[in-house]
Amino acid sequence: MKAQQVTMSPQDIVVLLKIIAYGDEIWFQKPMAEALCMSQSEVSKSLARSKYAGLLDSKGKKVFRAALFDFLQFGIRYTFPQHPGAVVRGIPTSHSASPLNKNIQSTDQYVWPSGKGTVKGQSITPLFPSVTEAVQNDFQLYELLALVDALRVGRARERAIALEELKTRILNGK
């Protein structure tokens, strides 16, 4: 019998960031799946992959924050790369969204394509299709995902600012 290679999926980052967004709050898979607009089996598989990768504790409840930060800092833009696409209506992300839009002024807008969006900009494919729905009621998750997108598509300055912000939020838990 051949051993099967376990590989991370983009939604694993979404799930890990959702756990970070929960903070000290106790969470369960079913409500998390509903909040992320994913199936419970997708969340369960995601947690298993993250445990295997060493990003979650053996119980699947606690994110190893330093390991996640290292992955985001050094691997996210190579593992899940993204290039801006066509101009569409959508939800701002990367430097076009909070908190980066307070420090970075740009005529280029980046958005996740969405009919509920209010901004026109170059399209950025979100890490998971349901992200545009999941962030509607979770501003903390929205900001984390926008910061991660800055790492995926941003220039050096944008990535540096995003890393500092992620360091504060992930490593310091703020």
Q: Mind listing the pLDDT tens digit for each residue in 20-70?
A: 999 989 999 999 999 999 999 999 999 999 999 999 999 989 999 999 999
93 and 64 together in one domain: no
User: Band of the pLDDT at 103, cuts 50, 70, 90?
Assistant: confident
Q: What is the model's pLDDT at position 174?
A: 61
Give the domain extent around 66.
10-79
Alpha helices in 28-138 (DSSP H): 29-36, 40-53, 65-74, 76-79, 131-134
User: Band of the pLDDT at 2, cuts 50, 70, 90?
Assistant: low
pLDDT tens for 69-102 read 999 999 999 999 999 999 999 999 999 999 999 9
Q: What is the model's pLDDT at position 29?
A: 95
* Residue 3 counted as domain residue: no
Overall number of domains in the chain:
2
- Domain boundary pick from 27, 49, 79: 79
- Residue pair 124/77 in contact (Cβ under 8 Å)? The answer is no
* Residue 2 counted as domain residue: no
97 and 75 together in one domain: no
Contacts of 142 (CB under 8 A, 6+ apart): 97, 98, 135
Q: If 0-12 CB within 10 Å is exposed, 13-18 middle and 19+ buried, where does residue 27 land?
A: middle
- Domain boundary pick from 29, 51, 79: 79
User: Band of the pLDDT at 1, cuts 50, 70, 90?
Assistant: low
CA dihedral 159, 147, 94, 40 (to 10 degrees): 140
CB atoms within 10 A of CB 1: 3
35 and 111 together in one domain: no
* Residue 67 counted as domain residue: yes
Q: What is the mean pLDDT of residues 125-133?
A: 95
